[in-house]
Amino acid sequence: MSVRKIVEYGTPSLREPSKEVHKVSSKIKTLIKDMLDTMYVNNGVGLAAPQVGENLRIFVIDVSTNDEPLNPMVFINPKIIKKSGLMKGDEGCLSFPQAYTEVWRYKKVMVKALDRNGRSFVLEADGDLLARAIQHEYDHLDGILFVDHATNRFAADEVLAKNNLPPVEVDKMIDIPEGESEDGSASSEEGKE
């Protein structure tokens, strides 16, 4: 078992876009194993390669609960090919120890990626922790962090300050997509918050 150090918020490398993996080599397989070990030791549900200092398009997820067997999923060179609906929910991140804030996410996502053996697969997740985790980890590969999706920047700043972390980078915040509402239907002017 090899547990790696997790890169914390405020480190510039977390904002860098990651590079594609060209070959699922033994080095990549070792990195994946280390990422899973690191995620499990830290009680996480997901971890992206940039969070352990590797600028590669890889993330791992396991949304199994205490009474379920482990179900590690590996995503290499993922692409989100469909997304719809919006939902709010609290999120945290291993790079933001103890900091949780409410963020916007799509309810339904479809992702295409390679598994740990380099085989292509497509996975759909709908309104659950898996959908949220896929988007969260996918964002890491593009240098986007969960606080960039905060529903309330000031509340997020308060949480970050309590945990001795830098404030939200306002210029990195992502607007809610126009025309979307929480239930996934087109929104009207009255429905906007």
Q: What is the pLDDT of residues 57-103, one digit of tens each?
A: 999 999 998 888 889 999 999 999 999 999 999 999 999 999 999 99
Task: Output the six-digit token pair for 46.
Answer: 């997901």
Query: Is pTM beyond 0.85 here?
Result: yes
The DSSP code sequence of 158-192 is HHHHHTT-PPP-GGG--PPPTT--TTSSPPPSTT-
Question: Annotated catalytic sites, by residue?
Answer: 137
Asked if 168 and 149 touch (Cβ cutoff 8 Å), the reply is no
Query: What is the DSSP secondary structure assignment for residue 125, as one 8-state letter?
Result: E
What does the block give as tokens for 174? 């992502």
> What is the pLDDT confidence band of residue 109, given thresholds at 50, 70 and 90?
very high
Tell me how far apart the alpha carbons of residues 40 and 70 are, in angstroms, rounded to a whole number.
10
Of 92, 82, 97, 87, give the one whose Cα is nearest residue 137. Answer: 92
* CA pair distance 117, 112, nearest whole angstrom: 14
146: nearest Cα among 156, 154, 136, 155: 136
Which domains does the chain possess?
12-172 (3.90.45.10)
